[in-house]
Chain A
Amino acid sequence: MEVKFNEEALAVAHKIIARYPEGKQKSALIPLLHLAQAEFNGWLSPETMAYVGSLLKIQAVEVYEVASFYSMFNLKPVGKCLIEVCRTSSCWLRGANEIIEHIEKKLGIKDGETTQDGMFSLKTVECLGSCGTAPMMMIGAQFHENLTYEKVDTILDSCKSEDKRKTYFDEVTVKDY
């Protein structure tokens, strides 16, 4: 499959690129990688990265270097619903370990794995700035806070049929101004 943004995404990409001063288009790299990840199934394949590089007229290796640095970029395929659970101090103090255990048991997968049907992936992450409403998890772009086992069950059940990979840029705000 040839990797290429559709017209709408391409227009957004060009809007982002236009924000930066002449010659500084590389600044658009991270926003464009987010866009690409949302457009191409929630992960960045080497082809996708090379394509983003070509839009910015930079070497593919520069894209690989950047994409592999940031933890939000998935360099391998993920499930339709990527569950990211925080496990740092404040969340741990309020039961994050047990929440993770609960999810692992419920879905039959461990940290870093994807369910057989390709629906759910589980990833433990570091503090997401929800320490006051701990424990918490993020699915797509949405925070779920003050988690209990029951709340987790309800949320995961409601995710069953949805592809959350696109939510990240589904409402691309930059097109407005």
Chain B
Amino acid sequence: MGKKILLEHDHVPGIQGYEVYRNCGGYASVEKAIKTMSAEAMVEEVKKSGLRGRGGAGFPTGMKWSFLAKPEGVPRYLVCNADESEPGTFKDRYLMSRIPHILVEGMITSSFALGVNTAFIYIRGEYFYIVRILENAIKEAYANGWLGKNILGSGYDLDLYVQVGAGAYICGEETALLESLEGKRGNPRIKPPFPAIAGLYGCPTVVNNVETIASVPYIINNGGDDYAKIGIGRSAGTKLISASGHINKPGVYEIEMGITVEDFIYSEEYCGGIKNGKKLKAVVAGGSSVPVLPADKIINLPSGEKRLMTYESLSEGGFAGGTMLGSGGFIVMDETTSIVENLFTFARFYHHESCGQCSPCREGTSWMEKILHKIMDGHGTLADIDLLWEIQSKIEGNTICPLGDAAAWPVASAIRHFRHEFEAYVTNPNAVNKVRHYENMNA
């Protein structure tokens, strides 16, 4: 069993409520921080911990915090990104619904470190039932003196609110999230300026993922050095992995970074192998945006060694031969899966979710979906496959926000590794075996 930090008390009955959470050592980090630590020392600990943003980009959290501008007389904000909409990702939902207080505690501790007096948790609208869970937890935290005015008699004030979105993946992009929080369309902002300088209401703002924030209490309680020892090298700590698709045990797993991908897929502790004893075909390892890899390439590194569940190992081989840890949305596909059809669901997703501000993403995502549809319908040509390749290459890198890249990468990797499947749809569409996954799964 690997070390558990976030889900350590997941099995404890009643952990959703304040009393049980407190009895399990909850809110100790707030006490320690407010009573014994300076804000600077806290940021230093987070830096030492090597914690990297768990929202997808993996940016070092301590460094992000140290960039926060602190002009006199201007409020600062901390915003937790609970928009979780990347297909294949459901870890934040799991954590918030099971142990809401760990996020509330993390928000308080982090806010104190950043000198923030108003903080928001921006949660996707579809997670409405979790809004209630979080608001209950927040109410309990107020009632017990962890939030509000003069926390622990220190003179430190903090208000924490839950803000609900309304169905837009793009609001997970941090500047789109801030726009949405300001009551606007979720159009990403053109950067610079970055949120650390001008974020919410034009004030300095830190945006962090749920899992990132929830990792802070452990770091404050145990010290950055202790956290840095967990995991391997620059992949410090534990990571929540959302496992889905054709596996025996879909669900959220907290892993210590550094276990092998093979172990993660096949061991009983995690995914428990491929459902119905089928063979593994491909994996999307970090949410829909990251490159898909065929079985041999996800299990083994180019060197022949086993690939590990770390930021570095998953991206080894670069774009042509590797992928990314991303948000940890681990989608497993068995041998019956059509890569073309799976890609179609992604292409439709990005088309649906493009905000429409910039022309390559607005037009390109819709064009790619249409071409894929045409190919799936048996009307595609070999030229369409090349065209698809070219469209993705013209989107990538040329857009305002990374959604364009996120839409391009799955297309590029699917064609790169599975070109023969596209060709099969084009050259002999009648021979393509259309699988009904429901029947397969419920056989």
- In the complex, are the beta carbons of A90 and B245 less than 8 A apart? yes
Contacts A127-B87, A132-B250 known; A177 to B244 CB distance under 8 Å?
no
Residues of B within 8 A of A134 (CB): 244, 250
Nearest chain-B residue to A72 (Cβ)?
A: B167
The yes or no answer to A87 lying at the interface (CB within 8 A) is yes
Nearest chain-B residue to A173 (Cβ)?
A: B135
Q: How far does the Cβ of A32 sit from chain B's closest Cβ, in whole Å?
A: 9
- In the complex, are the beta carbons of A72 and B125 less than 8 A apart? yes
Residue interface bits B92-128, CB-to-A below 8 A is 1, else 0 = 1100000000000000000000000010000011111
- In the complex, are the beta carbons of A66 and B185 less than 8 A apart? yes
List which B165-194 residues lie within 8 A (CB) of chain A: 165-169, 180-186
Contacts A30-B164, A70-B168, A126-B352 known; A89 to B346 CB distance under 8 Å?
yes
Helix, strand, loop or mixed for chain B's interface?
A: mixed
The yes or no answer to B420 lying at the interface (CB within 8 A) is no
- In the complex, are the beta carbons of A29 and B183 less than 8 A apart? yes
- In the complex, are the beta carbons of B164 and A92 less than 8 A apart? no
Nearest chain-B residue to A21 (Cβ)?
A: B201
- In the complex, are the beta carbons of A95 and B438 less than 8 A apart? yes
Residues of A within 8 A of B252 (CB): 132
CA distance A134 to B329 in the complex (A): 14
**Contact residue among A87, A99, A142 (Cβ-Cβ distance under 8 Å from B438):** A99
Nearest chain-B residue to A102 (Cβ)?
A: B438
- In the complex, are the beta carbons of B441 and A95 less than 8 A apart? yes
**Contact residue among B84, B129, B346, B355 (Cβ-Cβ distance under 8 Å from A141):** B129
What is the size, in residues, of chain A's interface with B at 8 Å between Cβ atoms? Answer: 54
What is the size, in residues, of chain B's interface with A at 8 Å between Cβ atoms? Answer: 70
- In the complex, are the beta carbons of A95 and B169 less than 8 A apart? no
- In the complex, are the beta carbons of A132 and B166 less than 8 A apart? no
Nearest chain-B residue to A25 (Cβ)?
A: B183
Residue interface bits A60-75, CB-to-B below 8 A is 1, else 0 = 0000011001111100
Residues of B within 8 A of A112 (CB): none
Residues of A within 8 A of B246 (CB): 93-94
- In the complex, are the beta carbons of B183 and A127 less than 8 A apart? no
The yes or no answer to B349 lying at the interface (CB within 8 A) is yes
CA distance A92 to B338 in the complex (A): 11
Q: How far does the Cβ of A123 sit from chain B's closest Cβ, in whole Å?
A: 11
- In the complex, are the beta carbons of B439 and A98 less than 8 A apart? yes
CA distance A110 to B124 in the complex (A): 26
Nearest chain-B residue to A19 (Cβ)?
A: B161
CA distance A19 to B182 in the complex (A): 12
The yes or no answer to A148 lying at the interface (CB within 8 A) is yes
Most chain-A CB neighbours within 10 Å: which of B126, B329, B331, B442?
B126
Residues of B within 8 A of A89 (CB): 87-88, 245, 284, 288, 331, 342, 345-346, 349
Q: How far does the Cβ of A53 sit from chain B's closest Cβ, in whole Å?
A: 11
Residue interface bits A79-123, CB-to-B below 8 A is 1, else 0 = 000000001111011111111000000000000000000000000
Residues of A within 8 A of B142 (CB): 177
List which A20-59 residues lie within 8 A (CB) of chain B: 21, 24-31, 33-34, 56
Contacts A66-B183, A97-B438 known; A24 to B166 CB distance under 8 Å?
no
**Contact residue among A24, A65, A93, A127 (Cβ-Cβ distance under 8 Å from B182):** A24
- In the complex, are the beta carbons of B166 and A73 less than 8 A apart? yes
**Contact residue among A27, A88, A138, A171 (Cβ-Cβ distance under 8 Å from B132):** A171
- In the complex, are the beta carbons of B89 and A129 less than 8 A apart? yes
- In the complex, are the beta carbons of A98 and B437 less than 8 A apart? yes
CA distance A132 to B346 in the complex (A): 17
CA distance A128 to B136 in the complex (A): 22
- In the complex, are the beta carbons of A87 and B129 less than 8 A apart? no
Q: How far does the Cβ of B62 sit from chain A's closest Cβ, in whole Å?
A: 28
List which A114-155 residues lie within 8 A (CB) of chain B: 125-135, 138, 141-143, 148
The yes or no answer to B436 lying at the interface (CB within 8 A) is yes
Contacts A72-B166, A131-B244 known; A93 to B337 CB distance under 8 Å?
yes
CA distance A168 to B166 in the complex (A): 12
Nearest chain-A residue to B159 (Cβ)?
A: A19
Residues of B within 8 A of A88 (CB): 87, 288, 345-346, 348-349
Sort A-B residue pairs by CB-CB distance and give the 3 closest, nearest first: A95-B438, A98-B438, A70-B166
- Chain A interface residues toward B at CB < 8 A: 19, 21, 24-31, 33-34, 56, 65-66, 69-73, 87-90, 92-99, 125-135, 138, 141-143, 148, 168, 171, 173-174, 176-177
- Could you show 6 A-B contacts with beta carbons less than 8 Å apart? A26-B183, A88-B345, A93-B331, A97-B436, A128-B126, A129-B84
Contacts A126-B352, A177-B138 known; 15 new A-B pairs at CB < 8 A: A24-B201, A30-B180, A70-B166, A71-B166, A88-B288, A88-B349, A93-B245, A93-B437, A95-B440, A127-B85, A129-B84, A131-B88, A132-B90, A148-B442, A173-B132
